[in-house]
Amino acid sequence: MILDSADLVAKKPGTVTNVIEVEGDSTKQMEQALYSAIGQVVLLMKEAGQTRYGIAVPNVPKWERQLAKIPTYVRNQLSLALWLVGKTQVRKLE
């Protein structure tokens, strides 16, 4: 199944399945990591209906700036959710 290659899949009977691509600090350049995450999540978008897709990154200003580069129009067209994740908080980027 294609969802097996996702970083995080959250399923609960009777609700929407969330498929999340996760990026963190790595040796990759930040922009390259973001491009990689976008590409990976788009390739996972094969299941229509009750599936929601997203990208999660560390809740730090440099990652928030990177996510803000994704145009709202594109996020809306793809129904792509963006999350900033910290030790005590998960914040959805609007």
Q: What is the pLDDT of residues 20-55, one digit of tens each?
A: 999 987 777 888 999 999 999 998 887 667 788 999
pTM (2 d.p.): 0.86
Q: Which residues of 21-33 are buried (b: 16+ CB within 10 A; e: fewer)?
A: bbbeeeeeeeeeb
For position 62, what pLDDT does the model report? 93
For position 86, what pLDDT does the model report? 94
Please report, rounded to a whole number, the percentage of residues in the chain having pLDDT higher than 90: 52
